[in-house]
Chains A and B, each alone.
Chain A
Amino acid sequence: MLKIAVGHSNDPDSLEAAQEVLEQCNQDLAGQAPQVGLLLTAFDFEHSIILEQINATFPDLQLIGGTTDGELSSVLEFQQDSVTLMLLASDEVEFQTGVARHVSQNPVELTRQAVVNAQAQLSSDPKFCIAIPESLTASGDDILQGLQTALGATVPILGGATADQAEMKCTYQFFNQEVLQDAVPFLLVGGNVVFSYGVASGWTPIGKRSQITKADKNTIYEIDGKPALDFYHYYINNFVPSAAYPLAVFPAGEDRFFLRGSLTHDPEIGSITVSGDIPTDATVQITEASLDAIISASKAALTDALKHYPGKQPDAALFFSCSWRRYILGTRTKEEYQEISTSLDSNLPICGFYTFGELAPLRDGGPTVFHNTTFTTLLLGTP
């Protein structure tokens, strides 16, 4: 048995919103005590008030979560400036949360250690991991490397990086009653549980292919021997590099690409810092996405997950969608949720958020990859 409850409030008042969400959850739970919760909220809330309220209602709850760029749920569908909470109760599925703090000091080692500690609390090996990592202070690739080292290459990690409504200044993570920065809260799931996932993007490269001639980790200094910023300026006049037009990165000798969006840039030396590491000798191309392509990619990700779902039918769905998708979709963001939710049971509890980076393996059994601009879906339940 896996009981899942969802609450969602768009009341901008923190106390009111928390109470409304808890009321909805209590109704769904019908007296059952949840073991674990996932809290996703907009940036503009008094987060400590919300956490206090949850703790007052469920003192033994393990909780992870973070701030977002938009929230999704089966209750209010797509919202901004809202609070959504998913609670899970089960006597056969095992949940164990954990957190890595101050990760920027040593992202690989600190996350690895935190997972090792959490694993020690579990009676069986975890089947998968949900992580809600910080996005601005440390490299997403490093964080993933730490998580993956502890979990082993075959345990998939899913989730999304915390966001701050496009400000790119500071994001928060939640762990039990704490509001944190520079942290990686995560949830290990084991026991009698089945799951599947799907990833798709919808962006297509256009224009000339250019060679990265100088880069270090996630900073690109030169493209085609000229300052990296020139490459963007060539396409978008002299405006600042836009994250909504990420670079398609083709590793040397590879015809598949992944996407990297610009986070910051240095006008002095003309470098661009992007949302993930860049392999040496890669070529890049500017990309473009149409609204229809984005929406059909979201559908494709869900269809893929449904096709591979090993159980009868899922008990819950989680969506992690890139914030850039939302910027581009504009008023059609609502439509996106509505269109994809038609392929699902109308009573299915759904929760999700718009992220600053999605976590999912590229293919089954492969290591998890730090994505941008993707729609990632996770389906879970009992066999």
Chain B
Amino acid sequence: MTSTDAETTIRQLQKQNRILAKQLKRSEADRAKLEDFNRDKESILKRIICELQESQSVLEKKGQDLEQTLHELTLTQSKLVEAEKMAALGALVAGVAHEINTPIGTSITLASTLGDETKDLVKAMAQGSLKRSRFQNYLKVAQNCAALLFINLDRAGQLVQSFKQVAVDQSSLEQRTFLVKPYLMEIITSLSPHFKNTYHQIDLVGDDTITLNSYPGAIAQIVTNLVTNSLTHAYGDGDHGHITLEVCAKEHYILLRYKDDGGGISEQNLSKIFEPFFTTARNRGGTGLGLHIIYNLVTQNLQGQISVSSQPDQGTQFDIKLPVHLKKN
């Protein structure tokens, strides 16, 4: 090794030495900093844990409060539903009174006409001036009046009957678990007299094993009303109608789908068909209560939902969703 080589080596070693000494000092200082940092971190995290525990108990309390509020809201809601029902019933009674007024009013007029005619006849008889032609005329009027009285009072009677149906007497409905499709088959069979002398056909499809725990009586009433409607409103004389009733189980409910391929319902009428007294067949004895009754049965007694879709000449379809189990009231 030459002396300059040695000098370079020494210089390099001296440099290394300087660097190492400096780094040692620096890392001591940095270590102290890091220790402080970690001490602070520990203390912060402990605090945060305390805060989290506090906010957890605050949240728990809030959760309880919310539950209480929810409970109160549910109570208020059911009270409101009751109030709404009462209001609807009030409107219904007013409607029924109005409907019944017409046949009763007519009957009163007819009765008084008959009374007046009879009084005149008795007077003429007492005076001995009763002619045969006059007597025959009286008999014609009396027959007419009696016939009209019968029609009008019968109409009033029918209205009262329908009204009784609207306010379905819940206690008369029996709740049980039943196989849906076989039960629907029974209803269809009982409706067969209505299909006599028509070319219409009704099909029932779906899984035979589906069961429901519900009010079978209400379902019978619904299906009967739907079929009657199709027969009265959907088809004309001589039509070959085709009605299908389908039952299928969905994830959380049972779907009843009723479909006819008749004349359908105009958009304007479609929004009103569930309203009480809406009918396009008043002159043929319709009262407009059928679908209203169906609506009440589905949404209240059966705790389900009903929807309709229809277009003129495209038939009408009703979808009824029913819960598999009823909630207890």
Give residues in A with beta carbon < 8 Å to B: 10-13, 16, 44, 80-81, 165-166, 206-208, 234-237, 239, 242, 244-245, 286, 288, 327-328, 330
Contact = CB atoms under 8 A, between A and B. Distances in A.
B40 A239 contact: yes
Contacts of A330: 30, 34
A235 B15 contact: no
B39 interface: yes
Contacts of B48: 206-207
B195 interface: no
B39 A239 contact: yes
Contacts of B47: 207, 234-235
A288 B46 CA distance: 13
Contacts of B45: 288
Interface string B42-56: 011101100100000
B37 A328 contact: yes
A340 B19 CA distance: 26
A237 B41 CA distance: 11
B44 A16 contact: no
A349 B24 CA distance: 29
A283 to B, nearest CB: 16
B23 interface: yes
Q: What's the dominant secondary structure at chain A's contact region?
A: loop
A234 B40 CA distance: 11
A237 B43 contact: yes
Given A207-B48, A288-B41, A327-B30, 7 more contacts: A11-B18, A166-B33, A235-B44, A236-B44, A244-B40, A288-B45, A327-B33
Contacts of B21: 12
A11 B14 CA distance: 10
Contacts of A81: 22-23, 26
Contacts of A236: 40, 43-44
Contacts, number: 60
Contact of B36 (A11, A242, A288): A242
Nearest to B44: A235
Contacts of B44: 206-207, 235-236, 245, 286, 288
A236 B44 CA distance: 6
Nearest to A208: B51
Contacts of A12: 18-19, 21-22
B212 to A, nearest CB: 52
Nearest to B30: A330
A173 B3 CA distance: 42
B18 to A, nearest CB: 5
Interface size classification for chain B: 20 to 34
A292 to B, nearest CB: 15
Q: Top 8 closest A-B pairs, CB basis?
A: A12-B22, A236-B40, A12-B18, A235-B44, A81-B22, A235-B47, A236-B43, A242-B40
A168 to B, nearest CB: 12
Q: What's the dominant secondary structure at chain B's contact region?
A: helix
B19 A11 contact: yes
Given A12-B19, A206-B48, A288-B41, A239 B33 contact: no
Nearest to B20: A12
A27 B18 CA distance: 25
A242 B37 contact: yes
**Which residue, of B22, B36, B48, has the highest number of chain A Cβ atoms within 10 A?**
B22
A10 B16 CA distance: 9
A166 B29 CA distance: 10
Contacts of A166: 29, 33
Given A11-B18, A11-B19, A288-B44, A327 B37 contact: yes
Contact of A13 (B18, B40, B43): B18
Nearest to B54: A208
A286 B45 CA distance: 11
A181 B40 CA distance: 32
A80 B30 CA distance: 11
B284 to A, nearest CB: 67
Contacts of B26: 80-81
A256 B37 CA distance: 26
Contacts of A235: 43-44, 47
B271 to A, nearest CB: 46
A165 to B, nearest CB: 8
A80 B41 CA distance: 25
A80 B25 CA distance: 11
Contacts of B43: 235-237, 239
A235 B49 CA distance: 11
Contacts of A10: 19, 22
A136 B19 CA distance: 29
A239 B47 CA distance: 14
Contact of B37 (A44, A80, A244, A286): A244
A235 B43 CA distance: 6
A294 B173 CA distance: 71
B51 A207 contact: yes
23 contacts: A10-B22, A12-B18, A13-B18, A16-B15, A44-B22, A80-B26, A81-B22, A81-B26, A206-B44, A206-B48, A235-B43, A235-B47, A236-B44, A239-B36, A239-B39, A239-B40, A244-B40, A286-B44, A288-B44, A288-B45, A327-B34, A330-B30, A330-B34
Contacts of A242: 36-37, 40
A286 B41 CA distance: 11
B46 to A, nearest CB: 9
Nearest to A11: B15
Contacts of B40: 236, 239, 242, 244-245
A235 B47 CA distance: 6
Contacts of A44: 22
A252 B19 CA distance: 50
A251 B40 CA distance: 26
A245 B41 CA distance: 8
